[in-house]
């Protein structure tokens, strides 16, 4: 009898110990994933300005203005810049940068559009530059910022076509915004460079690419989602761009690098397949990594974009 009680006591202690270790491990791993994703600290914008000095000098060649856009939905202002093309027209491209970035990173993209007759509006996403927000939510809250900026674009260019060009997480923001757009009808088309179709897939890709733990992927993702739920009251299941894009009626161009190891090319295939209309295109750039085609294969990149625009909006194609 005593031996049986001792074994039960041992089993209880062992079970408690295992539960404790599992819980502690979950929170340690989960916090690590959280900090590497949702609690990312953007690079200091001032330092980026010095890095992009040549781009900023070129920016001065264009008529432009900087201002803050109010977003009552999220409760903070959005740092925005409007750049006028030297070729006067009403068409505008809203450019959306990725995580840990700012609109300064994509000025070269803006210059190409500007010289081809497209006006530009760019902004710093949540938790970047002077834009508010204490964390990144990979498009979940950022989509409302994009909606606010698109309203400004519509006010500035009421008679033109509005296109949104998003990169990486910015592409996911645009993807999730496409559902909001079905009500507001602000955006006429989307260009999505290297999006992810689910947050879980993005985290999985990140775990595989930067693997610094021997723990199984499912446990790493599970731990991250648990901590995210406790900290932000959302989970990976709340960030599913592919659900949003199923509702869109707008033309969409997907662009992805064949060798992308940050967001898998599969994501663009899945997103494209999920759209219930035929006004869509998918371009895979061979031998390209994550969001590299626009500066390594610039001519091919923009030829694809203008061919896409011309197909659906002939009068608004490249001059």
pLDDT in tens, 185-199: 999 999 999 999 987
Residue 273 and residue 130 in one domain? yes
If asked whether residues 26 and 158 sit together in one domain, one would say: no
**Are 88 and 210 in the same domain?**
no
| In the predicted structure, residue 17 carries a pLDDT above the cut 70 | no
Which of 219, 238, 257 is the last residue in one of the domains? 238
Whether residues 250 and 135 fall in one domain? yes
Q: Is 130 in the same domain as 176?
A: yes
Query: pLDDT by residue (tens digit) across 217-227?
Result: 655 555 655 65
The predicted model scores a pTM of 0.83
Structural domain count of the chain: 2
Same domain (yes/no): 138, 281: yes
Please report the pLDDT score of residue 68 as a whole number.
Answer: 97
The parent domain of residue 82 ranges over 45-198+239-316
Q: Of 189, 219, 238, which closes a domain? A: 238
pLDDT in tens, 93-138: 999 999 888 999 999 999 999 999 999 999 999 988 899 988 788 8
Which tokens hold the place of 200?
A: 């879980």
Same domain, 164 and 267: yes
Closest CA to 146 of 113, 168, 112, 171: 171
For residue range 32-65, what is the model confidence (pLDDT) as tens digits? 654 555 455 555 555 555 666 788 889 999 999 9
Q: What is the pLDDT of residues 262-302, one digit of tens each?
A: 899 999 999 999 999 999 999 999 999 999 999 999 999 99
Q: Are residues 98 and 219 in the same domain?
A: no
Q: Looking at residue 120, which CATH number applies to its domain? A: 3.40.50.1820
Interval 251-259 mean pLDDT: 97
Please indicate, yes or no, whether residues 28 and 149 belong to a single structural domain of this protein: no
- Assign 11 a pLDDT band (cuts: 50, 70, 90): low
**Shared-domain flag, residues 27 and 125:** no
pLDDT at residue 89 is higher than 50: yes
- Whether 2 and 104 map to the same domain: the answer is no
With a pLDDT cut of 70, the percent of the chain lying above it is: 71
Claim to verify: residue 116 and residue 221 sit in the same structural domain: no
Q: What gap in Å lies between CA 284 and CA 203, rounded to an integer?
A: 22
In the chain, DSSP assigns E strands to 64-71, 76-83, 92-96, 119-123, 162-167, 189-193, 252-257, 280-285
| 86: pLDDT strictly greater than 90 | yes
Q: Is the pLDDT of residue 249 over 90?
A: yes
Residue 283 phi, psi dihedral angles, 5° rounding: -120, 120
The pLDDT mean for the chain works out to 83
Q: Looking at residue 30, what is its pLDDT?
A: 44
Q: Give the pLDDT band (50/70/90) at residue 210.
A: very low
Nearest Cα to Cα of residue 245 among 174, 192, 172, 179: 179
């Amino acid at each position: 009898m005593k031996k049986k009680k001792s074994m039960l006591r041992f089993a209880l202690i062992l079970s408690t110990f295992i539960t404790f270790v599992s819980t502690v491990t979950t929170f340690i791993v989960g916090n690590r994933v959280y900090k590497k994703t949702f609690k990312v600290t953007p690079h200091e914008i001032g330092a980026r300005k010095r890095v992009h000095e040549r781009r900023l000098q070129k920016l001065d060649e264009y008529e432009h203005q900087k201002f803050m856009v109010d977003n009552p939905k999220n409760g903070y202002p959005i740092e925005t810049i409007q750049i006028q093309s030297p070729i006067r027209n009403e068409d505008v491209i809203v450019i959306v940068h990725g995580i840990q970035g700012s609109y300064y990173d994509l000025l070269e993209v803006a210059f190409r559009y500007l010289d081809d007759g497209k006006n530009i509006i760019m902004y710093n996403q949540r938790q970047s530059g002077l834009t508010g927000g204490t964390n990144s939510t990979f498009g979940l809250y950022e989509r409302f910022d994009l909606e606010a900026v698109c309203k400004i674009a519509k006010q500035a260019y009421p008679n033109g076509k509005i296109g949104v060009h998003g990169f990486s997480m910015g592409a996911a923001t645009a993807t999730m915004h496409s559902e909001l757009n079905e009500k507001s009808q602000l955006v006429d088309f989307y260009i999505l460079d290297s999006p992810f179709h689910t947050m879980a897939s993005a985290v999985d890709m990140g775990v595989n690419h930067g693997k610094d733990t021997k723990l199984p992927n499912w446990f790493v993702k599970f731990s991250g989602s648990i901590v995210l739920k406790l900290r932000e009251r959302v989970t990976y299941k709340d960030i599913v761009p592919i659900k949003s894009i199923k509702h869109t009626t707008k033309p969409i161009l997907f662009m992805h690098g064949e060798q992308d190891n940050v967001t898998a090319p599969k994501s663009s295939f899945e997103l494209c397949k999920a759209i219930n209309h035929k006004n869509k295109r998918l371009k895979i750039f061979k031998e390209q990594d994550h969001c590299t085609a626009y500066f390594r294969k610039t001519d091919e990149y923009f030829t694809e974009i203008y061919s896409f625009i011309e197909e659906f909006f002939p009068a608004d194609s490249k001059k």
